Structure formats: structure tokens, C-alpha cells
Amino acid sequence: MTQTPETSAISTPTLPAQYTPADVESRRYEAWVSDGVFTADVASDKPPFTIVIPPPNVTGSLHMGHAFEHTLMDALVRRRRMQGYEALWLPGMDHAGIATQNLVERQLGTEGKSRHDLGREAFVERVWQWKAESGGAILGQMRRLGDSVDWSRERFTMDEGLSRAVQTMFKKLFDDGLIYRANRIINWCPRCLTALSDIEVVHSDDEGELVSIRYSDEIVVATTRAETMLGDTAVAVHPDDERYKHLIGTEVELPLTGRRIPVVADEHVDPAFGTGAVKVTPAHDPNDFEIGQRHDLPSITMMDERGVITVPGPFEGLDRFEARPAVVAALREQGRIVAEKRPYVHAVGHCSRCRTTVEPRLSLQWFVNTGPLAKAAGDAVRDGRVRIDPEDMSKRYFAWVDNMHDWCISRQLWWGHRIPVWYGPDGEVRCVGPDEEPPGEGWEQDTDVLDTWFSSGLWPFSTLGWPERTPDLARFYPTSVLVTGYDILFFWVARMMMFGLYAMDGKQPFDVIALHGMVRDEHGKKMSKSFGNVVDPLDWMDRFGADATRFTLARGANPGQDVPVSEEWCQGSRNFCNKLWNATRFALMNGAHVDGPLPTELSTTDRWILSRLEHVIDEADELFERFEFAKICDVLYHFAWDDVCDWYVELSKPVLAAGGPAAEATRRVLGHVLDQLLRLLHPVIPFVTDELWIALHGTGTVARAAWPQLDKALVDDAAEAEIEALQRVVTEIRRFRSDQGLRPAQRVAARLDGLGVVAPHEWLIRSLARLDDAGAEFAASATLSVAGGVRVGLDTRGAIDVAAERARLEKDRAAAEKEAAQCRAKLGNEAFVGKAPEHVVTKIKERLATAEADLARIGAALEALSA
């Protein structure tokens, strides 16, 4: 029945009276690492299970999103390891091009220097020095959280092996015609002076101004970026718009410039939006660029890389935000302003690193032709090679990959993988692979580096040794599951899918994509410094422990849904860990053990808890396979707290006190139940479960113990029904005692009639409900009925102030009647029921049901008092 643990050199602790996480967590973690618990053996014959960690930025610190995601990954890996898989959780970090370069540049600024003072080579050396001294703080924080990663395989996106992989991939794509260089519209940060990927742009609703400008007697256009009109090269209208058909092919004079621009017909224009006429600025708007391409329009760059106006005239040299009101003022003076709407709230893109407003800009950049790569990424999900969980997220995935734009991969930075393209003196272009020598004198390498997402897109296979056909790559690829947020499904997940399928001959990078939501505060509000509701997981770990932090996060994790958390819930999780500690300590003090098989002669109580355990094992297994972490935690929490601690331990106390064979059987069952429970809980709360499990076993570690196996022979429906009946009797008596104001420890004489199936357990009922036998002078001053025909008479004479208790109950009844009346009135109001949201109506119904139940309970208590 029990499983023999593998032994190790980990020492056996004793259990203090109170659980102090700080005394346990660091010691347990270092023991796991030194004992090689997390190190995957490439030569083993166990089935592989692989997760590669979404690489945190080298500049980063553990935030609540990391703690949440890492908790889920760790739970999956620890369970699979216990199930007998060769589990590899591969850690690493991303070089975070923009963030890291900005950080080191700020450091240089404090010294009165810039990167240009150092030069490229010396600056890159300075960044490597910063990484060695200060980078990667998050790795130590991952240890605090309990991440069971294989530190021997730690990778960095700029290490030698991954750099080789990046150069190989670029060369392969280049040779296959899937990488090209072109002038196209990209996201540009005037502060960081680099192109940005879509995921590096954060949109927010900002207040601006919508200005309507008259270009001619018949054409009015509206814009929030009035300064960009200086770069207009056309006005576009829909070809079927009757208002403008006669103007198509004519020209209008562009205000303030004297230039004449054509009126063109384009189906992109929505005739129902605004005036139906739009200004076309091909060098500064992605949609306008496409219109310009279709109509062979010139592209005028009207501001430089820093957002300064370059068009000769009165606005030249002004910053874009200085030029905007100046242009509007000049147009107003000419009578060209038809309308001004302010404030006008609209979505504005900002650089995720410095929060500068991003500028769409025509620029010569390197791009990946994503067409065939994106199609393969979509096909892999459609044909079932990759499963997205929850399934309804697949629609969002297809909406992205089926309509993907070509990807700008060049960045105007010095920190990162430099583009391996060289330009010759006569205009030659050569892409150099990792095993090729760069061309000789007169050739210059491209100064740009690759988008950070290019290297992280290779992560599932580059970290395993690709482009070499390493044993790790053969053993652990494809990876088993990717755990990540739905918010980067499009950007990171899609890139890994494209590159993995392309580089690995159609083999998917992961079998399952398990998507989770974002961590929010207890009110469901997004965490933000500006809202003042950001929670630091390190603070929670300091105060409540890593296990409590992990359990709080996992208990809110429903697939694809956002996760609300609060400090109060973390306190509750800490109490849960303490409850486990106290129960195990009690069990050990009373001789619970795991030696030998389970006894064949067992009490109904023992058979009940073993049967309940089997149901929980079965349910936990099913939920783990569906990534239902919240439900897993809920099932284990209630089994541990309710079934084990509140009932089985309490039912065991009189048995243990009585001694004899029944007590010895209970000691063995109690040891078995705790052993299995600690194994089940270990993936989510690893520290306290390991400390307790070692105390129970005297050696080993639960991290290497076998995962509980379902034993249907232990399922006992009759025992469960019998103990459930006992629980109903005890619960009703306890509720009655509480309603009557009896102190918990106060014993009351009672007579129990109609016990039926629970008759053999009368002594346990009396023990748990604090009831004495009915003596010669017994007189029932109160009676109550329990479902199943059980009647309980209690002699409360002298134990209750009847008048005071009646007054209290009457007051409670009045409150319950008022609550019920209010709820009935609302539910009887058809206007309210018809208009109120469904969840509001449901809440009112629940309040009514509670009030009616209270009235029934109070009425029974008053009747008992009268008796």
C-alpha cells in the first residue's frame, strides 16, 4: 500500500512547536540542489517531460506575474518527476536588448559619459561587466520561490551556444529567401532610437485633439497628428463614394506647403467614417504606406529619428509635439480649421521601456517573410500536433497567425546579436554563417542587432544544443508543455512555433500551450504602480513564506482567466500550512508511522478516510491533466483541512487514547494518509511538505517519492455513508450548542435515539459533541431532530440562561425576517429582475436562501428552548 522512498543524504529534522518558513525553505532548497534532485539524466530510460522557462529579462526582478507562472510550471514538473518521468525544467535569461542597453547607458550618464564616448566594443564589454556583477538577480529569487529547475543547464540568449544558433537561423532564413531588407513602416522610439516589435509597444488611452482641416472647398480631413500633414502626398476616398467620384484623379493644394497632391480612389477608405476622405502620409502611417504602395505615391519623411520636423519652412527644427499646436495655429489663421475636438481620447502607442510615444516611421530595416512560417504554425494547431489550453484561445491564435504581417527584426542598438550581413565596397551583400570567415578588407558589417524576440523564438531548441544534434535535443525535444500568459500568445508563442517547425523539420516546439491570465488585485483590477496596488511576492515570502505565496497564486489559477489575489488570502494560505504542520506534529507525537502494510482489520473511520483519500487522488490526477490548478488546490485544501484535520484527527483522538489494536491500526492509517497527502500537496507547496514528509519517514525527500496511485480496493462507499451520517449528527449537535450559547468545552447530558447505522459510533459522537450519558436525574430540556431519524435530547438545565438566549434568538430572527422580506421584494419586482445583471439576481436569490435557512434554524432553536 505504501511506497518505499529512495534514500538520500538529506538529514532528518525534528518538528518544532511552530512552523517558521525562514528556518526551512533555504535549507530544503539547497539540499534538493546538492542532492541532484532537479538534474535531468539524458541517459535514463524514463519517459521525458520538458518545460523550458519563459526566459525573464536579465535586468528583471521577480514580480507577481513571474511568481504565479513559475508556481504553475514547478507544480507540473514536480508532479511528473514523482510520476517517474525524466523531468527537465530548463532555466535561463533573456539579454533584453533595449532594457539592458538603457540601464547601462543611464549608469554611464551618471559618469558624464555616453556609449559613443566608449565606442561599440568597449560599451558591449561594459554591458557584460554589468551582467557579471548585477544581472540575473531574479535567478536567486527563483530559488526562494522553490523553482525545481536544472541549474546545470542554465542558458543565456547571448551565450556562445545560443549566439551560434541565432547566426545559423539567420543564415538559413536568408538563404531560403525568408529574410529581406526593405524600406517599410515600423514602430520607432525617438528616445531609444530604435525600431520596436509590436510587443514592445504599450497602448494606452491618451487625451489628444481631433482636428478637422479643410484641404479644398469639397474635401475636409480629420487627424490627431496635425503635424504629419507636412508629409502628405495624397488624399484618398472610396471609389464608390458618390460625394467624391468627380474629384478622383484631380489635385488639391496641400495647405501651408504650396504642394499639389492627387485625390486617389482606394477601397481601404471607409466612406462612413468621418468625412469619408483621409489624408495619406506614406512615410508616417502603416495604412497610408500601403495606400502609397498601391498608387505609387512618393514618401516624404517629415521628421527625423528624434521626432524633429525636417520639412523646410517655419516648422523646421521643432519637436513633433511643439510642431503640432504650431501647425494648427497656422491653419487656423488661414481659416482652414473646420472643427477641433478636445480632449479627444484615443489609443496611443508608447515604448514599453521608456514610455516615449512611439512614432510610425518609414525606415530601412530587416524583415522576416512570415507567410509560409505562419501558415505552418497555424497548421500545427489545426492538425492536432499542438493543443492550446483552454481550447477557446485557439481562435485568438488563428486570428493572429492567419493574418500576420512581416516581422521587423533589426534594432538600432549595440547590445544584442549583431546582424551577420556584410556590405562590400561595390554594393555586394553577403550573409555569413557561424562556420564561415567574414569577408576581408573593405567590407563592413551591418551595424544593427536582432530583435530580442528573434533569439527567444529559438529558445525551445537552441537551449537544448541546436544547431548541433545533441543528446539533449534528441531526448527532450519537442518540449511537453509551454506555460505562458495569453497576453504574449501572439508575439512569443507564435515566433517559437514558426522557428521550431522550420528548424526542426516540422517537429513542434511543444505539445501543449497552457495559457494563463494575469495576476490582478482582489478587486480584479490590473496591478499598476500608478494605482498603488502592486504586490511584491518577495514581501509575501518574507512575511508568510514561499509555500503560502505559491498556494495563494495557484488557488486562483483557472485556465486562461485572470487571477485575483489579496494579502488576506495569503494569510489564509499560511494558516493552511500551519494546520498541516500541527496535524503532522500531533500524529508523530501519537505514534503515527509508515512502517509495513496497512492493517487488514480497520475501523469504519479508518476505512472512511482511506476511501476519501482515493477519491482525492483520482480527482487530483484528472485536474492536473486539465491544468485546473485552482480546483486542484480546492480539492486538496478541503480534504486536508476538513476530512483529515477537522474530522479524522478528531475521531482518532479517543481511539488513540483508548489504546489497543484499534489504536495501532489508526496510527498506521494516519501515517499513510499524511504520507499520501503530503505527496499530493508537494507540487504546489514543496517546502513544508518536504519537511513534514522527512519527519514522517526519517529519511529521503518527498521530491523523489512516488506520486500516489489510485487503489480502487480501498474505495468503501458504505464506510463513507456511515461516517457522513455521523458527521451530520455531530454537526447538528454542535450547531445547536453554539446557538444555545454553550461553551465548546462544556459537557451536557444527552440521550440519543434512532441512531441506526451510527449506533456503533455513539461513543465517538459523545466524545466529539461533548455529551455525557443520561443519568438517573436526566430530563430533556431541549430536543432536536437530525436527518435520518436521529433525535437528540439534551439536559441544559443550569447550562443556559433561557431568557437571555431567547432574547438573542428573537433578535436574530427579526434580522433574518427583514433580510428575507427585502430579498423577496426585489425578486418580486419584475422591472428589477428584467434589467439587473444575471449575477446580481443570482446573488439576491442566494441571500434569500440563506435568510430562509437562518429562520428555520432559529425557529428550531426557539422551539427547543420552549421544550
Distance CA 58, CA 68 (A): 19
Distance CA 692, CA 701 (A): 10
CA distances (Å), 435 to each of 106, 325, 420, 432, 467, in order?
Answer: 36, 55, 12, 8, 12
In this structure, what C-alpha cell is assigned to residue 369?
Answer: 517573410
The CB-side HSE value for 159 (13 A sphere, CA atoms) comes to 16
Alpha-carbon radius of gyration of the chain: 35
Distance CA 664, CA 655 (A): 9
CA distances (Å), 577 to each of 121, 307, 349, 623, 755, in order?
Answer: 52, 56, 45, 22, 37
Residues 548-586: b if buried by 16+ CB within 10 A, e if exposed: bbbbbbbbbbebbebbebeeebbebbbebbebbbbbbbb
Q: Phi and psi at residue 562, in whole multiples of 5°?
A: -70, 160
Which residues, in sequence order, are bridge partners of residue 93?
A: 156
Residues 6+ apart with CB under 8 A from 87: 40, 48, 49, 50, 77, 78, 80, 81
Residues 6+ apart with CB under 8 A from 799: 740, 742, 746, 748
Which residues, in sequence order, are bridge partners of residue 750?
A: 794
Distance CA 291, CA 294 (A): 5
Task: Check if the beta carbon of residue 461 is closer than 8 Å to that of residue 503.
Answer: yes
**Binding residue per annotation — 375?**
no
**Side chain identity, residue 364:** L
Taking residue 515's Cβ as centre, other Cβ atoms within 10 Å add up to 26
| Three-state secondary structure string covering 114-164 | CHHHHCHHHHHHHHHHHHHHHCCHHHHHHHHHCCCCCHHHCEECCCHHHHH
DSSP letter (8 states) at residue 96: -
Distance CA 374, CA 111 (A): 46
763, 622, 754, 601: which is closest to 680 by C-alpha? 622
Q: List, as own/partner pairs, every contact residues 34-38 make where C-beta atoms lie below 8 angstroms and the sequence separation is at least 24, other chains included.
A: 35/8, 35/9, 35/10, 35/701, 37/8, 37/81, 37/148, 37/701, 37/703, 37/704, 38/89, 38/148, 38/149, 38/150, 38/151
Distance CA 616, CA 678 (A): 13
In this structure, what C-alpha cell is assigned to residue 417?
Answer: 546579436
Residues belonging to the chain: 867
Distance CA 185, CA 286 (A): 6
Decide the pairing of beta strands 48-52 and 86-90.
Answer: parallel
Known binding-site residue numbers for ATP: 529
